[in-house]
Amino acid sequence: MSDDSASSSHTGQPRVVLRNLVKRYGDFTAVDHLNLEAPEGQVFGVLGPNGAGKTTTLRMITGLLQPTEGTILVDGIDMIEDPTAAKRQTGFIPDRPYVYDKLTAFEYLRFIGGLYHMSADKIAERIEDMLELFELAEWGDSLIESFSHGMKQRLVFAGALLPEPRLMVIDEPMVGLDPQGHHLVKQLFQDLAHEDGLTVLLSTHTLEVAEDVCDQIVIINHGQIIARGTLQELRIESGADEGSLEEVFLALTEESDEERAEAVAARFGRD
């Protein structure tokens, strides 16, 4: 193999690497020394109870939030050293998608293409494809303020995929989508990952989604990874051999809460 490390396609290196990632808000540690590798071409699910640190972690990976400590590599590019290059590889769908109501769908997508420095021809070609894919072709010239919640959500997906990112980060992907939208998005994640090599990193509370689409799952509690693996591996780890992901999830998070309580008692309790 040549030593041309400038091109990172098909190097087999992980698409995302987190090393000892920490985020503190004052005295409170929201993300506590997280280590993670997400390979290319996989749908990777981040699960955890409310307040576990999922959104905080995803926002750091997209470069929207500065870590307190640690390293984030996207496609081998250091997010802190070269945020522009790292962000260029990344599409992000936040938990509360923000769209500009006074733009048309077409204008919104053209704006995103501009942010990613795509050529005018490429933007036009991709906008057509994305509007088609997300069943918005008839609405390209309509103002976004006239869109239903689900249509806005589909437009946000179209925008995130427009620049052909190598990493898609999605915080709670299914909120606001109807069953057809659900189906479309689930199928899309798998096709993009397994056929085009995209890495999809998503957080979800919808365990059915995780069960259906994720190749690998990590469970976070109190800012730490408490379990990782395929659903089958997590079943074995939790002792719930035949259990649904819901049972596995509850067993693992309860166990982690108990261990944490014991550790706190051991540290602060009487001895």
Ligand X SMILES: Nc1ncnc2c1ncn2[C@@H]1O[C@H](COP(=O)(O)OP(=O)(O)OP(=O)(O)O)[C@@H](O)[C@H]1O
Angle, alpha carbons 82-153-100 (nearest 5°): 70
Question: Shortest distance, CB of residue 54 to ligand X, whole angstroms?
Answer: 3
Question: Shortest distance, CB of residue 53 to Mg ion, whole angstroms?
Answer: 9
Cα separations in angstroms, 269 against 7, 106, 263: 54, 61, 9
**Partner whose footprint covers residue 50, from Mg ion, ligand X, none (CB < 5 to 8 Å by kind):** ligand X
37 phi, psi to nearest 5 deg = -130, 125
Nearer to Mg ion, 46 or 74 (CB): 46
Helix (H) or strand (E) holding 182: helix 179-196
Residue 56 near Mg ion by CB under 5 A: no
Nearer to Mg ion, 54 or 110 (CB): 54
Contacts of 161 (CB under 8 A, 6+ apart): 91, 130, 133, 168, 192
Q: Which of 30, 47, 53, 55 binds Mg ion (CB under 5 A)?
A: 55
Helix (H) or strand (E) holding 30: strand 28-38
Question: Shortest distance, CB of residue 29 to ligand X, whole angstroms?
Answer: 9
Amino acid occupying residue 42:
Q
Which residues in 20-59 contact ligand X (CB under 6 A)?
A: 25, 28, 30, 48, 50-56
Question: Shortest distance, CB of residue 48 to Mg ion, whole angstroms?
Answer: 9
Nearer to Mg ion, 17 or 220 (CB): 220
- Footprint of ligand X on this chain (CB under 6 A)? 25, 28, 30, 48, 50-56
- Footprint of Mg ion on this chain (CB under 5 A)? 54-55
